[in-house]
Chains A and B, each alone.
Chain A
Amino acid sequence: MTTRIPARFALCASQNRPALVAYTMAGDPDLATAQAILEALPGAGADIIELGMPFSDPMADGPGVQAAGQRALAAGQTMKKTLAMVEAFRKQDDETPIVLMGYYNPIYIFGVDAFLSAAKAAGVDGLIVVDLPPEEDAELCIPALRAGLNFIRLATPTTDDARLPAVLNNTSGFVYYVSMTGITGASIKNHAAVGEAVTRIKGHTDLPVVVGFGIKTADDAARMGRDSDGIAVGTAICNAVLGSLENGKATAGTVAAVTTLVAGLSSGVKRAKAAA
């Protein structure tokens, strides 16, 4: 198993703060700009990077991430190019963990074994595949663990205590707690319930728990980071890219729009535990 993920959580814990997990869509708005965004994320304060694999039919995503995936596909993004982005990133950063996030079909069509060995060789640390629940572990989860890649599972408000062990079994790297029943980019309605859920999950596992869905600002990051080991931000980053475009194309301000947002979120996670 790759060691970048546990090393990074240990580093954040030693600094008494949650990790900032930043999601960016591979190939959005074009390959070169996406590469520049990816490479600028660690400097802006991202501790862990989720790199989105665009898919034509992202059933669990709201309009922000959907549009980012559409832009990437329109610009010609493919799985091969996404893996090449990681490979290029690794030439200058061998410490920041990268988790590929997306849906199963593009992986299935690439070929599970071919995908796993290419991802491992490129320097990927883990996978989050939204439409593969534990019931389908034989498809990708078990082969991924065998290949030395972490398989990070989503736990949700509907995952009760009876089901939680099944969800945590075969999960590695960290647990991604989805803060609400809903799609990415919606708003968290009950912050207290999220904290309780994180505490409940931590009663079942020693893995770090990251909270995602609905975190948009530095204040959200500070608030949600109080009880968790990390917070994940995706839609806000996709929307920052969108806001920087002119006629659908990247501008001189595109990378800065993302790094400014991420730097703000980073300040949020740094005061999360102090605010407790």
Chain B
Amino acid sequence: MTATGANSLRNGPDEQGRFGLYGGRFVAETLMPLILDLEKAYRAAQADPEFQAQIKHLATHYVGRPSPLYFAERLTEQLGGAKVYFKREELNHTGSHKINNTLGQILLAKRMGKTRIIAETGAGQHGVATATVCAKFDLPCVVFMGATDVERQYPNVLRMKMLGAEVRPVTAGAGTLKDAMNEALRDWVTNVETTYYLIGTAAGPHPYPEMVRNFQSVIGEEIKAQMQAETGKLPDAVVACVGGGSNAIGTFHAFLDDPSVKLYGAEAGGHGIEVENGHAASMTGGRPGVLHGNRTYLLQNADGQILEGHSISAGLDYPGVGPEHSYLHDTKRVTYAPITDKEALDAFQLCTRLEGIIPALESAHGLAHLMKVAPTMSTDETIVLCLSGRGDKDVESVGRYLGMNS
């Protein structure tokens, strides 16, 4: 909970876990007592200076924070508009922003006396970050991953296994992130006494969206301080990709009450927003519903059945989004726009060739949106991209798309 004014956009959620209409605790009774315990444990941890100090210490020495803010000079020249900066979350230990959250939650799980960790993963970045902290803190770890994703993100599957995690492929549905989350929830409801569910995105039942946001908010706070040091002012625009939306909410949260900073979220436009079930842009192409413990924008049919969606990026291939994004979409504080598979692939290649940085396909969606916005801005303005993950995991599948494998 943040001490801000009554009209602040940073006050959410309320005591019921709502961000306006969105959020809540839509879970089976079996899980309800645990979720209430989790909230209590999290509040106690938040107030405990030792817990905060532990996170700070590990962030510095284990993760490598603060992550650098990098001026992307050649990309800036190429786009011919605002100065482009990358927030280098891909340089964190494990290669993405996901570790910010898994470190916080594993410490919480330890405080709660839980002896087994489960997680869902799409691109495998959260799975790797979870398997990593489970290795470090000596806890058994089971990661649920859609069978389709196991195939397209195989390097991350190997990393998880080497770190000692058990990876359970999920074949239900399209075998992507939604199905992995269903299966994780089924495991949790079965092993509720011993098991901590380490959710990787800012979604799910309260208090997860708030908790994950808070663990990720370090991204935006560092950007703010680094831009002040670099340019003496706030950035004019900030961009992040949005699947469930944990890197985006962590990037945006520090700027919500700074109206001069324009905020952009890039959703997965897949084959195009007009292609039915061919994208994963839940806010641009969906409507509010209830799934996985929260009310939020969802891709669904007229009868309330959830659609699978599609994205070239396994990390964005999810039919929902964190509830706080739904709220920021309705209030128009953040502009969310779809980026197609093709636009993301183009941005992926441009970044690799111009800056020598191979971005994750997820982050490439954010970059593609930045490439649309930056040229419309003046050269004395600045725009920051949260480069949320590195693309090592994607080189095989991108190579296949580009015909490099033959």
User: For residue A167, which residues in chain B have a CB less than 8 angstroms away from its CB?
Assistant: 29
Of B30, B33, B298, most A-chain CB atoms within 10 Å = B30
Does chain A have a CB within 8 A of B178? yes
Residue of B with least CB distance to A107: B304
Is the Cβ of A109 less than 8 Å from the Cβ of B26? no
**A143 CB, min distance to chain B CBs, angstroms:** 15
Majority DSSP secondary structure for residues of A touching B:
loop
Contacts of B284-299 to chain A: CB distance below 8 A: 289-293, 295, 298
Query: In the bound complex, what is the Cα–Cα distance between A120 and B182 (angstroms)?
Result: 31
Is the Cβ of A109 less than 8 Å from the Cβ of B289? yes
Is the Cβ of A108 less than 8 Å from the Cβ of B32? no
Interface residue tally on B, bucketed by range: 35 or more
Contacts of A157-212 to chain B: CB distance below 8 A: 157-160, 163, 167, 178, 181-183, 186
Query: In the bound complex, what is the Cα–Cα distance between A159 and B192 (angstroms)?
Result: 12
Is the Cβ of A135 less than 8 Å from the Cβ of B34? no
Query: In the bound complex, what is the Cα–Cα distance between A108 and B26 (angstroms)?
Result: 12
Does chain A have a CB within 8 A of B16? yes
User: For residue A155, which residues in chain B have a CB less than 8 angstroms away from its CB?
Assistant: 29
Query: In the bound complex, what is the Cα–Cα distance between A157 and B28 (angstroms)?
Result: 12
Is the Cβ of A110 less than 8 Å from the Cβ of B304? yes
Is the Cβ of B29 less than 8 Å from the Cβ of A59? no
* Stretch binding the partner chain, chosen from A42-50, A84-92, A125-133: A125-133
**B288 CB, min distance to chain A CBs, angstroms:** 8
**A254 CB, min distance to chain B CBs, angstroms:** 24
Given A106-B303, A158-B33: A182 touches B190 (CB 8 Å cut-off): yes
Contacts of A87-111 to chain B: CB distance below 8 A: 103-110
Does chain B have a CB within 8 A of A36? no
Is the Cβ of A181 less than 8 Å from the Cβ of B29? no
Is the Cβ of B172 less than 8 Å from the Cβ of A178? no
Residue of B with least CB distance to A167: B29
Given A60-B189, A66-B172: A109 touches B28 (CB 8 Å cut-off): no
21 contacts between A and B (CB under 8 A): A55-B304, A59-B185, A78-B303, A105-B289, A106-B304, A107-B304, A108-B295, A109-B304, A110-B303, A131-B293, A133-B27, A135-B24, A135-B25, A135-B32, A154-B30, A156-B28, A159-B29, A181-B30, A182-B189, A183-B189, A186-B190
Q: A60-B189, A108-B289 are in contact. List 5 more A-B contacts (CB 8 A).
A: A59-B189, A60-B30, A131-B27, A157-B30, A160-B33
